[in-house]
Structure 1
Amino acid sequence: MFEVVVDKEKCVGCEECVGSCPAGVFEIVDGKADPVNEDECLGCETCVEVCESDAITVTES
């Protein structure tokens, strides 16, 4: 299981994580990325790689 955290202060709502996540973890809520399907996270960290604002962290829990 993985914990996905989005730093709302850093997130610019570019939707890169939404489009790149193979598990569909993210949705844009109020203009910011939100890991609404965190339980589906595969731990691949694709979202971390595409996030230009370094707003996403993925840790194994």
Structure 2
Amino acid sequence: MGAGDKVSNKAEELGGKAKEAAGQATDNPRLEDEGVRDQQSAGMKQAGEKVKDAAEHVKDSFKK
């Protein structure tokens, strides 16, 4: 996973947490749901990047 991807995904996750909290504080369920979806999206991206990293590691182990 590239450093830029990590930062981008983490920023999306934190933004989602902020939206969720703002939605809860303002009693806005749509904003709260949007925040939850942003967090889920970031989590899926992070998982995908981890799979790519693991595959790269396996591929590299066969080169040795």
For Structure 1 versus Structure 2, the TM-score category normalised by the shorter chain is under 0.3
Greater share of strand: 1
Q: Which has the larger radius of gyration?
A: 2
Q: Given the two structures, how large is their TM-score scaled by the length of structure 2? A: 0.25
Greater share of helix: 2
Q: Given the two structures, how large is their TM-score scaled by the length of structure 1? A: 0.25
Higher relative contact order (CA 8 A, sep 6+): 1
